[in-house]
Structure 1
Amino acid sequence: MPDTATLLKLMPFAASVGIRLTQATREQVVGTLDWAEERCTAGGILHGGALMALADSVGGVCAYLNLPSGAATSTIESKTNFFRGVRSGQVTATAHPLHVGGRTIVVHTEIRDTDEKLVALIIQTQAVLHSR
């Protein structure tokens, strides 16, 4: 199984926005993103797009680690519920597979703030792309 640094190199966008992977197994993937002014919207609140990029990246790694040999993956659907704004600190995303099938993988991701309060809940569906 690839280490977190190798997995992050597969996602240059994630690395460029400051996402870090801290754990990556088939059962659970964890990543973090620091609050930073350049990642904010009005009022100094961490932008929803930054949170969604974190969730999509961590969820994508979770799906990737559950793929059959030779397959690839791509997000085909993502549903996000936001519960609170983040004005400082760091957010942590934790992803778990809900369904691992031959055509799709469904991933559940929670994003929590530094105080471990729920910031967002994401359910995403990843296509299983078999090579031809």
Structure 2
Amino acid sequence: MSPSETAAPSPADLLAAMPFAARLGIELHEATPDRVVGSLPWSPDACTAGGILHGGAQMALADSVGAVCAYLNLPPGAGTSTVESKTNFLRAVTSGRVHATARPLHVGGTLVVVQTDLRDDRDRLVGQTTQTQIVLAARNGATS
């Protein structure tokens, strides 16, 4: 069911629908169609050489928060899936948390494009992800 058919899901409900994100330690703090905010703590087991938070962990954060943003902008009965994602890494993260803020750049009948800014605890931009999500219409009355 899309969010427009029911009461808006809570950040906890949205995270529960993404077990991989929860397993990584991603948290959702705010979730509206205009802005989704989440974070991921730095941890030694999510690092690459030199204690730097792995880019894949940061991309998982951006993808998860961006996907929630796309989902919250779907028409009734539709689903979504990522078809393209591009991340620019701008600064290493060696402690604290990475904070993600996703905003829709385009909401159409076929595609939703979301930009997610990644910032460190000092509010420095550490990365930026732009992802394209396809809008999947419900089939035979079923929802995605």
Shorter-chain TM-score above 0.5 = yes
What is the DSSP-based 3-state SS (H/G/I as helix, E as strand, rest coil) of the residue aligned with 2:134?
strand
**Equivalent residue number for residue 35 of structure 2:** 28
SS of 1:58's partner is: helix
1:63 and 2:81 equivalent? no
Aligned partner of 1:41 among 41, 48, 51: 48
Shift of 1:76: 0.3
CA deviation vs aligned residue, 1:61-109 (integer Å, no higher than 9, x gap): 0000000011111100001100000000011000000000001000010
Corresponding pairs, count: 132
Q: Which has the larger radius of gyration?
A: 2
Match of 2:11 in 1: 4
For 1:1-132, what aligned pairs fall within 5 Å after superposition? 1-132=8-139
Runs of 4+ in 1 over 4 A off after TM superposition: none
* AA matched with 1:118: L
**Pairwise CA distance, 1:131:** 1.1
- 1:46 Cα offset (Å): 0.1
Scaled by the length of structure 2, what TM-score is found? 0.91
Match for 1:45: what amino acid?
A: I
For residues 31 and 23 of structure 1, what CA distance do their matches in structure 2 show?
A: 7
Q: Take 2:103 and 2:41, find their aligned partners in 1: how far apart are those partners?
A: 21
CA separation in 1, counterparts of 2:111 and 2:136? 9
1:131 partner letter:
A
Contiguous gaps of at least 5 residues in structure 2: 1-7, 140-144
- RMSD of the alignment, in Å? 0.4
